[in-house]
Structure 1
Amino acid sequence: MVWGELAWAGRGSGDLGVTERFQRQQRFSRRVLEHLDVRLDLRGLEHLGAGPYLIAALHEGIADVLCLLQLPLPMRFVARREIFGWPRIGPVITRLGHLPINPEHPLGGFRDLWRGTEAILGGGESLVTFPQGTVIGIQSEFQRGVFEVARRIGAPILPVALSGTHRIWEHPFSPTLRYGQAVTLSVLPPISAEEVQTGDLTVIRVRTRRAIKAAALAPGLPPARFFEPDRDGYWDGYRLDIDPDFPDLAHRMKAHRTALIQQTEQVLGGVRPLLRSRG
């Protein structure tokens, strides 16, 4: 059922207009959420204006996309470039015009985000970004790129908190697909383009990060995903920063990376004399 709906969403030839893309994606989202029996609680819809917005959403898993598509806003999504190469999924999201970036190459990733955001918002659609850049857990830090782009193009930012989506499909940590899960999506008051352009971006980023995470961790909501390196791995080689508001985990990650660098230097120190002797 899911694959059939996905194929339908990406069917056709030629460029999709804003309205057609919006309708296709909403139908796909609604049908899959109904199939999975997701109990979605949408909150804060009174904060929505006409847009378009640069949406800054918390990230727990692929199911975030299904839930965000239930907002009454035409939207596209930023996604890791590698996902555009996945079988079945890649061709469809390419056809639907979503925006690929590579977070492990900050300069190129920022350039692609900047250009893509300008074009998409200029066409009347909002663009969903995930400032954490990862689904490992709520303790991951917000990157600066979203806020820098919003300032450069004069776009308002719409903060959105999600909690519970990781229970649906906890990829890449578990292959299990779960039915009947509760999810809460909370729309927070937008940050105006004027404030983004005139305010201190670090202050805005930290305040936004804290507000979104506080909303996701509010009492009575589905539990958020928490990162545990001993269970989930340390994700060496990936861009992963820990929110300083979680100091214990931030310290563990720093200690791990320091040890990894020292081990690498020791290995290189043993190899260099051999290379010199052969030279």
Structure 2
Amino acid sequence: MTPPPTPQPGEAVRLRFAPEGRAARLRFALQGRPLVWSALRRAERVSADLNVQERFHLQQEISRQVLGHLGVQLDVRGLENIGPGPYLIAPLHEGIADVLCLLQLPLPMRFVARREIFGWPSVGAAITRLGHLPIDPEHLLGGFRDLWRGTSAILGGGESVVVFPQGTVVGIQADFQRGVFEVARRVGAAILPVALSGTHRIWEHPFAPTLRYGQPVALTVLPPISARTLQTAHLDTLRVQTRQAVKAAALAPGLPPPRFFDPDRDGYWDGFRLVIDPDFSTLAARMERHRAALLTGTA
């Protein structure tokens, strides 16, 4: 089986939506598409000096409208674990719909995103205007510097910062990167881990344009990792413990299943920093063999 071509960093993106079924196509054409583009245009036109609460309420309202139109069945658990913040929020990452679901948490927040997303049609202008943070994760030193400085400034203004520690939407087997833990230590912030599952079924971009209505999504907020713990703990041990706890929450019985990466279906994403969680040992070994073959020219 030949996998679909995977995007490369910096590649131009065409945003496509292919609703499943005739009724869904009609519904999206008449209501969904106008709603999405109207929301993006509204975000593009907001004041340049938007304050924290104005941004919070605008983003929540837009996400609620889009989730409502799509009929997303959002099951939110663990709200008792949320304090006043601000936090570095560290969620699992399955797709663009993660953002809409996370915005329903009772915290003002901004998102860290790959720099090329800021060049997407309409989306880029909207998230730039809303003050979200672009980074280039393929450039380790520059990407970490931008993450550190930008996060420090946003937290200082009283907003939480969402950093997806997997750095990719390929599936639950992607490992957690160290950056969010290192930044949290440097800026003296707590981390709020969040398990998400089911969002990949809403819109399958970048793997396919498939769009589905009425999908169940589980969002589970785990207890925060205090700033004190981050100052004293061994960061790599803490990274592994957090990764395992978040993924165990996403895989709990009765919740929508998370996305699982299959290179034969999804491609290998060779242009990206993709590391497989060693707890998924079979896939991790397979990816190591693939990377080794690339280096030797035998792939």
TM-score normalized with structure 1 length: 0.93
Aligned residue number for residue 6 of structure 2 = none
Q: Deviations over 1:28-53 (max 9, x none)?
A: 00000000000000100000000000
**Alpha-carbon offset, residue 174 of structure 1:** 0.9
Cα pair 2:43 2:129 within 8 Å, conserved: no
Q: 2:224 aligns with which of 186, 190, 193?
A: 190
In 2, Cα distance between equivalents of 1:185 and 1:50: 19
Cα pair 1:9 1:28 within 8 Å, conserved: no
Q: 1:4 aligns with which of 15, 18, 38?
A: 38
**Alpha-carbon offset, residue 255 of structure 1:** 0.5
**Alpha-carbon offset, residue 213 of structure 1:** 0.3
* 1:175 maps onto 2:198 in alignment: no
**Structure 1 runs not aligned, ≥5 long:** 267-279
**Alpha-carbon offset, residue 11 of structure 1:** 1.9
Q: Deviations over 1:210-247 (max 9, x none)?
A: 00000000001001000000110011121100000000
Aligned residue number for residue 105 of structure 1 = 139
Cα pair 1:159 1:208 within 8 Å, conserved: yes
Correspondences of 1:68-107 after superposition (within 5 Å): 68-107=102-141
TM-score normalized with structure 2 length: 0.87
Q: How many percent of aligned residue pairs carry the same amino acid? A: 75
* SS, match of residue 185 in structure 2: helix
Name the aligned partner's letter for residue 177 of structure 1: L
- Structure whose alpha-carbon radius of gyration is higher: 1
Name the aligned partner's letter for residue 53 of structure 1: Y
Cα pair 1:75 1:125 within 8 Å, conserved: yes
In 1, Cα distance between equivalents of 2:113 and 2:173: 20
Correspondences of 1:118-129 after superposition (within 5 Å): 118-129=152-163
Aligned residue number for residue 58 of structure 1 = 92
* 1:45 maps onto 2:90 in alignment: no
Question: Which structure's relative contact order is higher, taking Cα pairs within 8 Å and 6+ residues apart?
Answer: 2
Aligned residue number for residue 211 of structure 1 = 245
**Structure 2 runs not aligned, ≥5 long:** 1-34
Name the aligned partner's letter for residue 81 of structure 1: R
The count of corresponding residues between Structure 1 and Structure 2 is: 265
* SS, match of residue 211 in structure 2: coil
Aligned residue number for residue 51 of structure 2 = 17
Aligned residue number for residue 202 of structure 1 = 236
Name the aligned partner's letter for residue 72 of structure 2: V
